[in-house]
Every structure is written in structure tokens, then in C-alpha cells.
Structure 1
Amino acid sequence: MTTSQDHRRLGRELDLFDTDPLIGAGLPYWLPDGAAVRHTLEEYIRDAERRAGYQHVYSPVLGKRELYEISGHWAHYSDDMFPPMDLGGEQVVLRPSLCPHHAVIYRSRSHSYRELPLRIAELGGMYRSELSGVLGGLTRVRAIQLNDAHIFCTLDQVEAEARAALEMIRRAYDALGITSARYRLSLPGPGGKYVAAPDKWRRSTALLTDVLQRSGLPYEAAEGEAAFYGPKIDVQVTDSAGRESTLSTVQVDFHQPEQFDLYYVGADGARHRPVMVHRSIIGSVERAVAHLIEQHQGAFPAWLAPTQVAILPISDDELPNAVAHARRCAELRLRAQIAGPDRGTLGARVREARLVPYQAVIGPKEAAEGSVALRLRDGRRLDPRPVSDDLARIGALVEDHRTDLWGDLAS
């Protein structure tokens, strides 16, 4: 990967994110354009989850040490956690994951088999005590915003829920223009890193293997890559240097439902233990955006671009039309910016807006006719058309999360 392709350089050059020693290593902040990308990505995944029957929750980023002792994180994962803080005679910890909180949320109410599968989702913060040497840009950070969800279901519902999660991942990758490198079945390795429950490991591994095979997905098994409580299906992606990382994941967990004594009331009136399916469609927002920056080199799909329409009045005489055009874009929830004559020649402004999907040029003729001459990021120039027609077309493409800029030009 050349320096020009690195998301760390591009992210700063495009004013997406930055860091400051006063805030600290591994703690990037988001600038307005980066925040627009992040917000749009978060809204996309929340909407996709709502459509798939998920219910969203919020949970605290802190928890008592006892919470993580019960979940198993303290015994198996404490090296990656921040030290506990003493607070009023108790110790509280920045959470390293969201699953213990969701287990407690499930436990807080009684549940019938009729409610299952119960899908709980959250875009929530978690914290990892990463060593300074491994931190970099958005790919390895200490404060993580995770697209996380936990499905509480019966044993015979696990396969359908895991396959549905894989299908959500596929659709998200299509919308984002991401290609998966491979699917990995992540299994435990030697040593005391993993929960000692051989029967649970065998059952959960068999379930995920069956899911992969029935889904027709080629995969490779990798020992030593499992979560401490269970195996995973990891969706691997590669960056522009060919380095591989995990972006999305589906996991089967028999451990935490037992640790938190979770149950549902079955048709027989007795208590039964649910299975907990963990899944993340886009993983952490930080890593997802880092991958998208490098994948698209800043030329994001139109629906995700920080500026979707650059409005280019040829002279000051067309500025009122440009302002009106920007207002119409805002009404359609399209992100538009005016680049007026004070920013240089038209050619210079077109070059400056080279990563913007749509460039709306307004000259005297367009101003008189209520039209724009639209240029697409890929170099195509369209004949002047009524403003309403162009914006309706752009709005539809954005609403559908399309990766193409215009579709069939004949339509």
C-alpha cells in the first residue's frame, strides 16, 4: 500500500478525522465530513436492523467488575480491559463488549417461547486497552463504536438466525461496495484462554459449520481465533496492501446464558435455557470507515458521501439559483455544498469537487430555464434537465443505497 492509499493520510487530507496528543493515542475525533459518513452509516445499519425485526436499546459504557466476572471477561479477557476504577466502595470498569449488558437486559423481564427469537441491537461504545504499538488510524483504537446485536432464541432457531445475519452482511457489503475476501470459521486453540466447556464448544462449532455449509459459503477453519466463550464465523476483508482483518462476525454462545441464568418459559410451562447468537453486520464503525476510505479512495457511494451534490454557479449572477438549488437538496435530505466563483475558475472548482458524486453547474442558460447541467463523478456530462428531475433521480438512487451513479441513462 502506498502512502497515498493509506486511510490515515486520506482521512486527514479529506478532513474526515484527526487525532491530538492531548486527547490521546487510539482516540481519534471525527470532523464534520467524517461525522456525516459515520452518521449515515449508523442510520443505514439501524434501519436495516429495524426492518429485520431488531429492537434497539441503550446500555451504559460502565459496569461493576462483578458483571464481567460473571460473564467470564474478567477471567479470560482482563488483559485487554482498562483497569477498574474505585467508586464509592465498588469497582467499575469500562466495558470491553456489550454482550454482558444485553444479557442483563434480557434477564430483567420474563420471556415466553412465543417471544423468541428476541433480537436486541445497539450501536454502543466499548473500550479496549490496546498497546500503543498496535494503534493506527481508525483500524485499531481504544474507544470503539460497535454495531452489535444479540439474538436470544431456541436451539432450533439458531441456524435460521445465523443465516439471516449472514444475508444482512451480504446486503450491507453490496450497498457499501465491499468485497469479502473469505469466510473464516474461528475455533479455539490451545491454552487457558477459552472457557473450559468441551460439550458447548462441540455443539456451537457444529451449528456454525452447518450454517456455512447450508449457506453454500466456502470457508477456512482457523484455530486460536475464537471468542473466549464460543466459535465464530468471521467475514474477512483485505485492505489495499493485502492485509486481512475481520469486519463482520456471527457467533453462537451457550456460555453466557448459563452464567447469567437466562431462561424462557416453554410451551410445557417449564424453564428452558435460550441460546445467545452474537452478530455484528459492519463491526466497529471505526474499522468499517477505515476500510471504506481505502476501498473507495474517498470516492464513497453517493448515499454515503459527505457531500453528495456540489453546486457550481458560473458567476455571481447565478448565486441566487445556487442557493435555491441547495435549499431543494436539503429538503430532500441530500447533502449539498455551493462552490462559488470566489473559489476559482469553473475548471478548478470541478477538480476540487472530483470526489463528489454529482456536480450541478448553473450558468446563465440554466438559471433562465430552471435547469442544471449535471456532471457525474465518473466524467459523464448530462444534458441540462429540470432541477426537479435531476434531484428526484439522485434522491431515488440515494434512498436505494445504490453504488452506481445514474443507472440506465435512457430512463
Structure 2
Amino acid sequence: MNDHRRLGRELGVFDTDPLIGSGLPYWAPAGAAVRKAIEDYVHELERRGGYLHVNSPVLGKRELYERSGHWAHYAEDMFPPMEVGGEEFVLRPAICPHHALIYRSRQRSHRDLPLRVAEIGGMYRSELSGVLGGLTRVRAIQLNDGHVFCAPEQAAAEVSAALDLIEAAHDRLGIKAARYRLSLRGEGAKFVDDPGMWARSESVLREVLKERGREYDEEAGEGAFYGPKIDIQIADPAGRESTLSTVQVDYFMPGRFDLRYVGGGQPDSSGGPGSGGQRDARPVMVHRSVVGGIERLVAHLIEVHGGAFPAWMAPVQAVVLPLSDAELPAARDLLRRCLEAGLRAELAAADRGSLGARIRAHRLVPYQLVVGPREVASGRAAVRLRDGSQAGEVPIEQLAARSRPFG
């Protein structure tokens, strides 16, 4: 069984150090390469889906999280405030308040909607030491987050569009969902006490799941404090389940931040909304995460692929293997061409063992480029795939094209 905590360290994906602290893993070179490939893919997928990308600070004033409701409903999972210059700042437990402020930063019209905003940003959870482990339960999370600000009548379509992105990403990453879960409100003060608001949100999510023909389980107490959500659950090789991707419909936070847009209708004689629409309306906020936290995602991918990542996300996509020192100059030139073509490549020279030993040492690399006397003469390389099959002499540009997530 592939355990990412062992395999991830062996592959040089991540590690930890007590001087940094529990639940704070660092990305080693192989992990940084995997993470960058995934982030670039998701960024482009979102761009094609109409998202605008932003970057926001990992700190905010305590007042921000009082406004968003996190302080009242989520404080036990937050790090304590830091006092700076007489003001209290908090490491953010979520990115949504920052995006709400970005929306609020200028006047919005109904013509601007839906406004789709996304980023991969840091957030922090004050997890207890006893539950921390590997990349799955951490205190510092790089979250693929996004928020759609839309008119109420657009909410269902935006939820469905978010699920389209999620399912496309899962297919490209090689992820199979264990199940879909409709996570609902539970009892107690953790959840906002507004039954009507919860009912409206649940109605939208149920409608979308029904239209898409998705079977799902309902679970009370698993919703966000401000609203229900669709959770796409994954399972590790031992059958342990966790949440990866989510979509949420939120009527709460737009009210807390007084988010508005100018509608398309004209006011009637009493100054209220006209029959053509609202002059000053409240948007709905659809929260969605296509691949969730990057840490949990990579942990799952290590276990799913056993370290043999698809070529587009592999830490090393091509290794150049000269038969002997005589081919070393040609191998170095081939390495240069690989790097210039955009491949993540490295050289395994003959002084690192026999050809067979070097192939075994790089068994997880998608493309093994063997350079012998014949390849030196032709200026090409014999491409060996990691399953042991031979692909013949393939131009470097073609290999690079095969190694891109969108081809």
C-alpha cells in the first residue's frame, strides 16, 4: 500500500523539521515541481473558465473575521491574534473575506455578473498536534480557492459550471471520487441561525445535483458555518475518506459585507425596484475549490500514482542517459535542448552506474532518453518509456508537447 508519508519523503516531495514545527511540512525540489505543475494547470483551467486571478494577504485584522462571521463561529480553529501597533491581526483561516472585499472595492453592475475570482493562497488552521500527519492534516494550507459573485438566478448555473471544472480536473489528475456529499447544517452555535437562508442554499445545490444525475449522501453537521455545500469525497488506499473539492452557495457573507450591484431595472414610482429588475441588489456568493488544498491533493496523488505521476506533472519528465563518457557531450547538448523546450529534465551520466542501474534509479521518470553512438550520429535519442516499451526516436519538441497538461 502506498502511504504518502513514507513515499513522499523517499521521492523528495516533502519533509518536516521540528524547528519549523508540527503540521508545517516544507516542499522539497520534487514536490515544488509537482506543486508548480498542478498550480499552473489549475490556473489555466480557471482562466479558460472565465476566472480572474488575484492575490491577497495571508493576514487580516481581527475586525475582518468578526465581520465575516469566522470569529463567532470558527475561532477555535484560528490562530490567536497578534498585536501590531495597537491593532490585532490574524493569520487568515479562509480566503473568502478577502475576495468579498475585492468585490466591494468598486461599484458593480448586473453587466459585470457573474464575476469569477480565484487564487491559490495560504490559509492557516490551528489544528491540534494529535491529528497532524504528513500532508493531509497540516496547519499551513495552500488552497485553490475561488468565488463567484452572481445574481440569484445565476447561482445554479454557476454551481454546475464549478462542478464541470472540478470533474475536468479530477479526470486530468487521475482522481476518482469516492462519493458526492451534500453537507448540511448541524445543531449548535457553530452554524448561522437562519433556517430560511439554509433552505434557499440547499435548494440550489439539490437542483444542480438532480439535473446532473449525481447520486449523493446527505450529512448533517458537515456544512460550512454559513451554508451547505457539495463535498466531493476521496478515499486513500486504506479506505479513509476526506474532502477534496467543494462548492457552496452563500447568502450570508454578501449581507455581512453589504455587497451590492446595480440591477437592470428602473425604479417604480415609489422608489422601489421596477418590473425590469432591481436597481440595487444583493449578489449571491458561490464558493468553490476545484482541487482543494494543494497539500491534501498531492498526498492523494502520491498514493494514487505510487509516485509515477502523469508526464505533465512529474517532477522530472525526461532523463538523459549516455551509454558512456564518449556520448557525454552529445548528452549534455540534448539536456540543453530538453530544458529549452520546457521539459523538466536531468542528466544521469555513465559514472553513476551501468545503464540498467541508471534506468532502474529513474524508473518513475516518464521519458528515458538513451544516447549511444548511433544517436550521436543522428543527433537524436532513443526514447524508452517507464513501462519498458520503446518509443523510437522522438523529436524533443514532440516530447515537450506530450508533457503539457493541455497537450
Decide: shared fold, TM above 0.5.
yes
- Is residue 249 of structure 1 aligned with residue 246 of structure 2? yes
Separation in 2 of the partners of 1:211 and 1:37? Answer: 33
| Aligned counterpart in structure 1 of residue 194 of structure 2, from 194, 197, 202 | 197
- Choose which of 302, 310, 314 in structure 1 pairs with 2:319: 310
SS at match of 1:322: helix
Q: Aligned match of 1:399 in 386, 395, 404?
A: 404
Q: Deviations over 1:233-280 (max 9, x none)?
A: 001111111111100000000000001100000012521000000000
Query: Mapping of 1:167-316 within 5 angstroms?
Result: 167-268=164-265, 270-316=279-325
Cα-Cα RMSD:
1.0
Summarize deviations over 1:340-362 as a string: whole Å, max 9, x none: 11110000001001000010111
Offset of residue 140 of structure 1: 0.6
Question: 1:399 Cα shift?
Answer: 2.3
AA paired with 1:306? P
**C-alpha distance 401-177 of structure 1, shift in aligned 2 (>3 A):** farther
Q: Which structure 2 residues correspond to residues 9-408 of structure 1 after superposition, within 5 A?
A: 9-268=6-265, 270-383=279-392, 385=393, 389-401=394-406
Residues 130-171 of structure 1, C-alpha deviations (whole Å, 9 max, x = no match):
000000011011011100000000011111111111011111
The offset of 1:390, in angstroms, is: 3.3
How far residue 392 of structure 1 moved from its aligned partner, in angstroms, is 3.0
* C-alpha distance after superposition, 1:306-358 (max 9, x if no partner): 00001100001111111111111111110111101111000000100100001
Residues 350-403 of structure 1, C-alpha deviation per residue, up to 9 Å, x if partnerless? Answer: 1001000010111111111222121111121233x2xxx43233222222447x
Name the SS for the 2:382 alignment partner.
strand
Consecutive unaligned residues in structure 1, runs of 5 or more? 403-411
SS at match of 1:179: coil
Query: Which whole-Å CA distance do the structure 2 matches of 1:25 and 1:375 have between them?
Result: 41
CA contact (8 A) 2:321 2:371 kept: yes
3-state secondary structure, aligned to 1:356? coil
What residue is the counterpart of 1:405 in the other structure?
A: none
Identity among equivalent positions (%) equals 63
TM-score under structure 1 length normalisation = 0.94
- For 1:81 and 1:390, the matched residues in 2 are separated by 52
- How far apart, in 2, do the equivalents of 1:86 and 1:27 lie? 23
Q: What one-letter code is carried by the residue in structure 2 that aligns with 1:333?
A: G
Q: Which runs of 4+ in 1 moved over 4 A?
A: none
Q: State the SS of the aligned residue for 2:374.
A: helix
Cα distance in structure 1, aligned partners of 2:21 and 2:391: 47
The answer to whether the Cα contact below 8 Å between 1:250 and 1:279 also exists between their aligned partners in 2 is yes
* Alignment-mate amino acid for residue 365 of structure 1: R
Give TM-score scaled by structure 2 length. Answer: 0.95
Q: What SS class does the counterpart of residue 368 from structure 1 fall into?
A: helix
Secondary structure of 1:319's counterpart equals helix
Q: CA deviation at 1:52?
A: 0.9
Distance 2:88 2:321 in 1: 57
Whether contact under 8 Å (1:175, 1:401) holds in the other structure is no
Does the aligned pair in 2 maintain the 1:81–1:129 contact within 8 Å?
yes
Aligned length: 395
